[in-house]
Amino acid sequence: MNIQQFYEFCLSKKGVTEHFPFDEDTLVFKVGGKMFALSSLKQWEKGEPSLNLKCDPEKALELRAEYESINPGFHMSKIHWNTIDFNGDVSNKMMCELINHSYDLVFKSLTKKIQAEILELEN
């Protein structure tokens, strides 16, 4: 997966917006105003891309045990976030599943009203 594919995949989800809230380097994708994916553009340019994704705490531990390139979230809550190295042992298919999982966790944490507004926007 290259940066364009990653970018398009995240933006294809319902209600997703892109932001640079921390600096000009860290691309953040949000749904309902809450983050679900973060990535450093400089790391992509260096050929060392990684991605921070929200994850169910139990699943996060299982993934870290199974994959060498999945680690506790860098600069994030180590319980709820993983950092995944794109050049590691995680397939593109699995990367998409992890992005979907992160998006779904955040979407489900939104109020019913905000969820309905997002779903309405897309219809």
Is residue 40 a contact partner of residue 51, using CB atoms and an 8 Å limit?
no
Residue type, 31: V
CA nearest neighbour of 90 among 41, 43, 50: 50
Q: What's the token pair of residue 34?
A: 């809450």
For the segment 59-92, what is each residue's pLDDT rounded down to a tens digit?
999 999 999 999 999 888 899 999 999 988 999 9
Check residue 100 and give left, alpha or beta (phi > 0: left; psi -120 to 50: alpha).
alpha
Tens-place pLDDT, residues 5-54: 999 999 999 999 999 999 999 999 999 999 999 999 999 999 999 999 99
The CATH code of the domain at 31-117 is 3.90.1150.30
Domain boundaries, the chain: 31-117
